[in-house]
Structure 1
Amino acid sequence: MPFPTPLRGVVPPVITPLTPAGEVDTASLRRLAEHLIGAGVHGLFLLGSSGEAAYLTDAQRLTALETAVAASAGRVPVLAGVIDTTTARVLDRAADAVRAGADALVATAPFYTRTHPVEIADHFRRVRAGAGLPLLAYDIPVAVHTKLPRDVVLDLAADGTLAGLKDSSGDEGSLRRLLVDPRRHTPGFSVLTGSELTVDCALLAGVDGVVPGLGNVDPHGYVRLHEAARAGDWATAKAEQDRLAALFALTEAADPALMGGSSAALGAFKAAAHLLGLIDCAATAAPQVPLGEADVARVRARLADAGLL
């Protein structure tokens, strides 16, 4: 489908269901995609952090992307994460995304190597020119150790390199400064927040949409929040955000002494999706630590409290 510019609404970063043997569970992914589209989401973002892209082989990434594109069947745009360390490797992943039929790409700055803002800008320009698809920048310094400079993002928007920004920086002040910058209003440029917990505030401030990992668990809630905000019903938006903030506590179900934050959060999202019947197996990719029975019981309790069971 034609990629909407600007992209607005709820675009969940889709989890990648796995079999007990660690392969992509295509049947579960199709079922999950159908559920998300049925809930009214405005796009699907494959192979992001919530999609465990960093843990998957190139072949697994391609399988997941092809499955989602087929399941979407043109009803909503499919954004493909092409996250890798260098420009050449990102271009390889972008070529896969083009072959799979993705509608747009999402890329971070290069990482492992330390890059200058001039090099970061050149990276995005090369990816955009090489792939020929709309490109969104993914600002996630906790993972790539580079905070995308505001001037670089806005210059790349102005010259047509970037169709949008997914802000997962955790720096709400920086996001607000970008939103009020007069250069932010480049036609067709989208700003999406990756924060599950401050969507109502971000929409009020002027973001175009949200990319919530928790949207895998409760897409209807985020769609209701977005619709209330667009209608100017901020009391309803706040109430929905408060409910979702309480539900987000499921990411704290695991003992931090036994596993890292990635294992806890992704494990909780997958456990919740499994309990809801959306995926067949809650396995996460190695070497992440799986949730225990007590952890899953706490996830179930959060789902019940949110009225999802």
Structure 2
Amino acid sequence: MKQVKIEGIITPVITPMNADESINVAELRRQVNRQIESGVHGLFCFGTNGEGYILNGEEKKLVLETVIEECGGRVPVYAGTGCISTRETIEQSKMAEAAGADVLSIITPGFAAASQKELYDHYAAVAGAVNLPVVLYNIPARTGNALTPETVGKLGQISNIVGAKDSSGSFTNILGYIAASENCDQFSVLSGSDQLILWTLKAGGTGGIAGCANVYPRTMASIYNCYQAGDWEGAKRHQESIASFRACFRFGNPNTVVKTAVALLGYDVGRCRAPFNQLPEEGKEALKKVLQENEEKGMR
């Protein structure tokens, strides 16, 4: 199994699209370099911000292979291979392993309600089918199924299940994951909620998968870098600086807000794939105002 440190700020890189909603490969390569040159510690393909929920298998393969090639080993590449069925999740995970991914991030199955036993069996089967590190991904607001701390602790006993990303928005749940994994060997807990990254680090977590890094990669990386350097005030300043941008999420789907913001910064990333691609005019104006204010503050 690959030995990868699950730590730092990992960007769930957006998937640039052309006007016809095909993948804009050239812009994807540009975003890879922009992120790495800004100091992020990893790239996560087709996560929530990468619109993995709306890409087909061939498109995911294209995105992943492009990112891996352009990255050239400079940072670890994570692949979001979770699907609704165990069978398809294994197929996608094997695709990612063959493509050269470093880590798999597997979201809980969605739509149908799953028991904790079903979730455990699902993850155990996927982990047993590949020879890559696996990071669990909990985002119950999107999937309808939540991984409990107890289940995370049990799954952490499987040798290649090495971490969990929590996007529930609940710091209590993050603390539960950290406590439940204390007896696991080198298990990492990542915040999937950007506003909780610093507090997760302070509690014993190892970083975050941060959608805001698509807009402010250097700022988000600085939360982790300052914390690791013992600069609490610096880390706190960077953490708090994203509040005004996150306030714009009230105007629409956060994925749409993030991608629109990157486009407003001058990158040819296109729109999110329909139907999840609309932002009201008042939202766009608020976003422009926040981006301008943050640029004047030196946020990048």
Asked whether the 8 Å contact 2:15–2:269 carries over to 1, the reply is no
| Residue of structure 2 aligned with 1:197, choices 195, 212, 216 | 195
Report the 3-state secondary structure (helix = DSSP H, G, I; strand = E; otherwise coil) of the residue aligned with 2:105: strand
Distance across 2 between alignment mates of 1:281 and 1:104: 25
Task: Label 1:219 to 1:299 Cα distance change in 2 as closer, same or farther (>3 A).
Answer: same
Measured after TM superposition, the shift of residue 48 of structure 1 is 0.8
Distance across 2 between alignment mates of 1:139 and 1:225: 22
> Which shows bigger deviation, 205-214 or 295-304?
295-304
One-letter amino acid matched to 2:4: P
Distance across 1 between alignment mates of 2:113 and 2:283: 38
- The aligned residue for residue 290 of structure 1 is 278
- The aligned residue for residue 110 of structure 1 is 109
Q: Residues 203-214 of structure 1: matches in 2 within 5 Å?
A: 203-214=201-212
Report the 3-state secondary structure (helix = DSSP H, G, I; strand = E; otherwise coil) of the residue aligned with 1:11: strand
- The aligned residue for residue 222 of structure 2 is 224
| Residue of structure 2 aligned with 1:237, choices 235, 238, 242 | 235
Measured after TM superposition, the shift of residue 282 of structure 1 is 2.8
- The aligned residue for residue 267 of structure 1 is 256
Q: Residues 1-150 of structure 1: matches in 2 within 5 Å?
A: 2-5=2-5, 7-150=6-149
Distance across 2 between alignment mates of 1:59 and 1:83: 15
CA offsets per residue over residues 162-205 of structure 1, 9 Å max, x none?
A: 11101111221121133234x42523211100111122222111
| Residue of structure 1 aligned with 2:184, choices 179, 186, 195 | 186
Task: Label 1:219 to 1:134 Cα distance change in 2 as closer, same or farther (>3 A).
Answer: same
> Which shows bigger deviation, 201-210 or 169-178?
169-178
- Structure 1's consecutive aligned runs of 4 or more residues displaced over 6 angstroms after TM superposition are none
| 2:290 counterpart of 1:302 | yes
Report the 3-state secondary structure (helix = DSSP H, G, I; strand = E; otherwise coil) of the residue aligned with 2:268: coil
Distance across 2 between alignment mates of 1:180 and 1:98: 30
Measured after TM superposition, the shift of residue 81 of structure 1 is 0.3
One-letter amino acid matched to 2:64: L
> Which shows bigger deviation, 189-198 or 170-179?
170-179
TM superposition score normalised by structure 2: 0.93
CA offsets per residue over residues 97-125 of structure 1, 9 Å max, x none?
A: 12221111111222233322222111111
Identity of counterpart residues, as a percentage? Answer: 31
Asked whether the 8 Å contact 2:2–2:133 carries over to 1, the reply is no
One-letter amino acid matched to 1:13: P
One-letter amino acid matched to 2:276: Q
- The aligned residue for residue 162 of structure 1 is 161
Measured after TM superposition, the shift of residue 161 of structure 1 is 4.0
One-letter amino acid matched to 2:95: D
Distance across 1 between alignment mates of 2:142 and 2:41: 26
Distance across 2 between alignment mates of 1:212 and 1:176: 18
Measured after TM superposition, the shift of residue 297 of structure 1 is 3.2
**What are structure 2's unaligned runs of at least 5 residues?**
none
Task: Label 1:37 to 1:289 Cα distance change in 2 as closer, same or farther (>3 A).
Answer: closer
